[in-house]
Amino acid sequence: MKRMIKLFVFAAIVAAFAVPALAQSKDCTDENKAAWYDTFLKNRQGEAPAQKTAYQAAKNYLDSCPANPEDTIRAYLAKWTAAYEKALRKIQFEEAFAKKDYAKAADLGKQILADDPANTRIYMLIGYGGYLASSTTNTPIGADSVENAKKAIEMIEAGKAPENWSPFTNKDQALAWLNYSLGRAKLPTAPDDALPFLIKAVNYNSELKKIPAPYTDIIAAYTERQKKLTAEYEEKYKGKPETPESKLAAANIDQIIDREIDAYARLAALSTNPADKKAVMDDLTSLYKYRNKSETGLNELVASVLSKPVPDVPTPITSLPATSTPGSPTNVGSPGTNGGAGNSGGAKTAGSSNTSTTGQTKTTSTPATGTQTGSAKPSPSPTPRPKQRRSNHRVVM
């Protein structure tokens, strides 16, 4: 009898060690299934490490055993693991973004959106992450980030707020940076398309409007438009008698210069480095004097410009004022209005005397000069503006 008891005890000990051994084999046996399910039940409601153990046990069950409609345990484990994987992807997404691994975050975000296409936060962070990655690596913002930023803006403006705004503090800040991301993405290849996004970005009530970087970008975009209009003007009217058409073309150039003046004034008001501020003020003064024939009102413009919204991109002028007569000034704005520029004498165009400075970035174009002797004033093509380096500014939150 004693010998029989010893055999039973020995058998129990062997069985205790045999189940884990069988579990390691991942064979779909009743013993392994019982062991995996037992491990799952003991760990599923624990902390993260315990849940990981539960997940692995469930995966062993699911991967080792074929689907069986009558296996209710397998069906439950399949549902639980799917929920666990969705939750885990969101955690990993947030961790990747926090660690500035924006490529990994974007990949995880795509998986999350496949299950949850209405997740505003994922669109927001993928879109913003593209801008941050671009600022860090000095590379273009990817098309995928652009599309996600657009989608995030669309959803936020439709009232679909994200789970939380972090790393932003509120709606306005999020929309400002998302629009700025789109503007930065378009600036190198389509500056005209970039302008509406850049201007919209700085008109939100956020810290973005209080830093120099976006105004440097606005100046760069307007300068490219001005160069294009100046080239068209010179091709059609250079050296020819002044006509209503040439005056109209000049007026359209002047209103672009007005917007440059507005952006330069904001850049000057926000520049804190003495050398940068002096460079900006020198260029602003030159441009302002070209449009207004004096410096009167310039200091007042710089002092007050930040209290006003950034003016929208101007609509092309299609007809001159009825009071305009040949030889009279083209009336395009007045000091302190739409960029602070006043009347341009006669029909003339100019490349702007522009040097935008933010940190070490400096870009320059040369003003048009010349004399007018009864004909439309010829305007030399602006000196090509050096390619602007991408700003390394990033928001700190």
The residues, any chain, with a CB within 8 Å of residue 345's CB and separated by 6 or more, are 293, 329
CA–CA dist 249, 236 (Å, integer): 10
Residue 180 reports pLDDT greater than 70: yes
Phi, psi of 212, deg, nearest 5: -70, -30
Mean pLDDT score, 147-165: 97
For residue 320, name the pLDDT band (cuts at 50, 70, 90): confident
Q: What is the DSSP letter of 362?
A: E
Q: What is the pLDDT of residue 323?
A: 55
Q: What is the pLDDT of residue 208?
A: 97
Residue 214 vs residue 323, higher pLDDT? 214
Mean pLDDT score, 297-308: 97
Question: Pick from 136, 153, 145, 158: which is nearest to 186 by CA?
Answer: 145
What is the DSSP secondary-structure string of 105-153?
HHHHHHHHHHH-TT-HHHHHHHHHHHHHHHHHHT-PPPHHHHHHHHHHH
Classify burial at 352, counting beta carbons within 10 Å of its beta carbon; exposed 0-12, middle 13-18, buried 19 or more.
buried
What tokens appear for 357 in the block?
């400075």
Q: Under DSSP, is residue 282 helix (H, G, I), strand (E, B) or coil? A: helix
pLDDT tens digit string along 34-76? 999 999 999 999 999 999 999 999 999 999 999 999 999 999 9
Kindly report the average pLDDT of the chain as a whole number. 81
Residue type, 27: D
pTM equals 0.75
Sign, CA torsion 197/200/201/202: positive
Q: What is the pLDDT of residue 5?
A: 35
Q: At 354, which helix (H) or strand (E)?
A: strand 354-358
Q: At 358, which helix (H) or strand (E)?
A: strand 354-358
pLDDT tens digit string along 87-134? 999 999 999 999 999 999 999 999 999 999 999 999 999 999 999 999
For residue 213, name the pLDDT band (cuts at 50, 70, 90): very high
